[in-house]
Amino acid sequence: MAWIGSMARHSRRASFGVVGSIPLLRLGQTMDEMVSVCLRRATAEDIEVIAALHVESWRQHYRGAYADEFLDGAAPAERLAVWTERLTAPSSSRFTIVAEADGVVVGFAHVILDEDPTLGAVLQNLHVKTDAQRQGVGSGLVAEAARVVHACDPGLGLHVWVREENTQARAFYEARGGVLAGRKLGGPFADGSEAPVLCLAWREASG
pLDDT digits (tens, 9 = 90+) for 135-181: 899 999 999 999 999 999 998 999 999 999 999 999 999 999 999 99
**Residue 143 neighbours by CB distance under 10 Å:** 19
Q: What are phi and psi of 126, to 5 degrees?
A: -145, 115
pLDDT for residue 205 = 41
Q: What's the pTM? A: 0.83
- pLDDT tens digits for 41-95? 999 999 999 999 999 999 999 999 999 999 999 999 999 999 999 999 988 899 9
**At 63, phi and psi to the nearest 5?**
-65, 125
Residue 16 in this model has a pLDDT that exceeds 60: no
18-202 to CATH, choices 3.90.1170.50, 3.40.50.10880, 3.30.420.40, 3.40.630.30: 3.40.630.30
